[in-house]
Structure 1
Amino acid sequence: MGVSGSLGVGRLTDAVADDGLGLLVGGLSETLVYGPGGERRGEGCRVFVSSYAPRPRMLVFGAIDFAAATARVGSFLGYRVTVCDARPVFATATRFPDADEVVTDWPHRYLAAEVAGGRVDGRTVVCVLTHDPKFDVPVLELALGLGVAYVGAMGSRRTHEDRLARLVEAGVREDELARLHSPIGLDLGARTPEETAVSIAAEIVSARWGGSGHALTETDGRIHHDA
């Protein structure tokens, strides 16, 4: 996704391009306001960004406490969030008020139906938080072959090794396994569900824009990455 043309001031053009690209990828339309030199200060030049794409989707499998926090931060990032779990006692709208929908179904069956219906695309992110091989292996086997933006799975190092062995046994290719973010999230030292959700969100953003995950004080060059 490139930039064509100019607004006459380099810093203003760069600011609009950076912000506009984020809105377009997120399927959002918004009026942006800048100062004459591209300052994001809410006065001066007004630019309307119109996006015709639907919001990207976040599919969260596993109706656990970490899923509630992940749904909350996913909604904050602009995703249309679905929480899915095969256990009706856990998959309730009351437990996940920030989700756009809560579905009771086996994860792999629900994902297959969404794919068949054309409701999964290259911007979709998949977070598998089930901690149970009978749920997470089938859905990961399917998700890793779809070409979605991100596939992450929660679990300890031991759980990860066991999961990899099961996926290999199921016939998942090495290049597909390389796309799996597991254990899920960036190394922030997170402990609570909310902190863990932030680490997951940070990894998703990094994967979207090609970020390194390092502190900006440790990097050089432009802060904003191209798509």
Structure 2
Amino acid sequence: MPPSSPISPPDSEPDRAPVAIAGLVSALRGRRSVTLLANNPTLTPRDLAAVPCAERDAVVHFNRAPFLPRFLSGRHLNVLVLRQHFDTGRFHGWPTEARTLDAMQAAPERFHLLLCLNDPRSGALPDPGAVPRSRFAADDPAVREDYPLVPDIAFAAPSTGFAVLMLLRAHGLPGGETGRWHRALVRLGLARPRGLLLCGFFDTPEGRFWPGHSWAHERARIAGQGLRDLARR
């Protein structure tokens, strides 16, 4: 996976990107905890130190993932979620920096790429080498259900972190079972009390970097899931 050729053509992808996260579900099965780590500049070193990252844990990073370098040396699973740009078809945060590419090449079993696709026919898909890759469509009903569009922004959509949380909620189990979170976590093999955790999803300056997400709706929906945010005080 040399840095000079970080992408591959999407010839093998279908015209419409299906939900294809069986590989991700398999990778998460049996994990002691799964932490969704927000791309949130208000997070502190203390917050990041609270993220479980032992061998049976998993940490999910989003787009440019500024905190990822801190987690490269662990033996846990790093899930990198890359979202396709609305206009260019390329992916936020890819190609990633050299030290991340080196870590992925050295230990591909400790990484998984999850691609959020707008249109798989445009742009080129990241080529993670031996690292497993899953995908889902940005307009998947599990993600867009009841999501209010932001007025005067044509490309308004759920944030990447919210999209993945809703995707796991609806499709994180074989057969697309839904049910309550505690049943889902048991079926995934996630042991209580850690289970599924959040880090940095409840900052106070909501939406100051991009107005295209309905932050109030997302915060209300996330709060209703009863999940713990490690950075919420």
Range class of TM-score, shorter chain: 0.3 to 0.5
Identify the structure with bigger relative contact order (alpha carbons < 8 Å, sequence gap 6+): 2
The structure with the larger Rg is: 1
Q: TM-score, normalised by structure 2?
A: 0.34
